[in-house]
Amino acid sequence: MARKTAAEAEQSRQQIMRSARAIFVEKGYGAASMEEIRGRSGMSKGSIYYHFKSKQQLFLAILEQNIQDWLDKWKQIAQPDQSLTDKLHALAVHWVLDFDNPLISAGDEFVASHSDEPEVIKKMIALTQLHHPIIRDILEQGIAAGELRQEDPDMLTYLLFGTLGGLGMAHYDQLPRAKVLALYRMAIEVFLHGVQARQPV
């Protein structure tokens, strides 16, 4: 039997991930099984475990792809001629809209079920940090244009990322979407007020 080409192997991997994602959304992380994923994908057991050694590894791969899709979508939203303020507000809206992602519930369940595993937590932190480059890029542009003070871009990135991430509690507190958006917009204004370049008197 001929070995699969790299393209065919990747196609199989993506098919497994699509099927698994649908099951995780439907059932949650805990109730989903590798056997059910195998049946939904139409792949052999050997093929499933060739690509993913465990349900945990499979779910982490789906989370990473999910974040990459979010980043790719942001690249389509961001416009080179946008002002710093408009770009940050657009980022805030993009962030809030992701609360509609049907994978969030399974993701929360996954984190809760592996909270005592250092390697999983380390991987989750690395995944969240995939957001940092786009935030840093926006802020560096603002600094270069003289719109923001000459501060350490890494410090500003952590500050803004922490603000956007922390405000996610508004979603979990089940605030109306309009209020969540208003909070994020307010946070951008507060952030800008604190770090905008001071105009000479």
pLDDT above 80: residue 136: yes
Segment 4-61, tens digit of pLDDT: 788 888 999 999 999 999 999 999 999 999 999 999 999 999 999 999 999 999 999 9
Integer-rounded Cα Rg, in Å, for the chain is 20
Range(s) within the chain of domains with CATH label 1.10.357.10: 55-195
Q: Could you give the CA distance from residue 102 to residue 179 in angstroms, rounded to a whole number? A: 21
H-state helical runs in the chain: 6-27, 34-41, 45-51, 55-77, 84-97, 104-113, 118-128, 132-144, 153-166, 169-172, 177-195
Superfamily of domain 1-53: Homeodomain-like (1.10.10.60)
Fold held by 55-195: Tetracycline Repressor; domain 2 (1.10.357)
Segment 100-129, tens digit of pLDDT: 999 999 999 999 999 899 999 999 999 999
Range(s) within the chain of domains with CATH label 1.10.10.60: 1-53
Answer yes or no: are the C-beta atoms of 92 and 165 closer than 8 Å.
Answer: no
pTM > 0.85: yes
Cβ neighbours of 83 (radius 10 Å): 12
What pLDDT, on a 0 to 100 scale, did the predictor assign at position 199? 63
Percent of the chain clearing pLDDT 90 (strictly above): 89
* Across 89-108, average pLDDT: 96
What pLDDT, on a 0 to 100 scale, did the predictor assign at position 116? 92
Task: Output b/e per residue, 134-167; b: 16+ Cβ within 10 A.
Answer: bbbebbeebbeeebbeeeebeebbebbbeebeeb
8-state DSSP, 4:
P
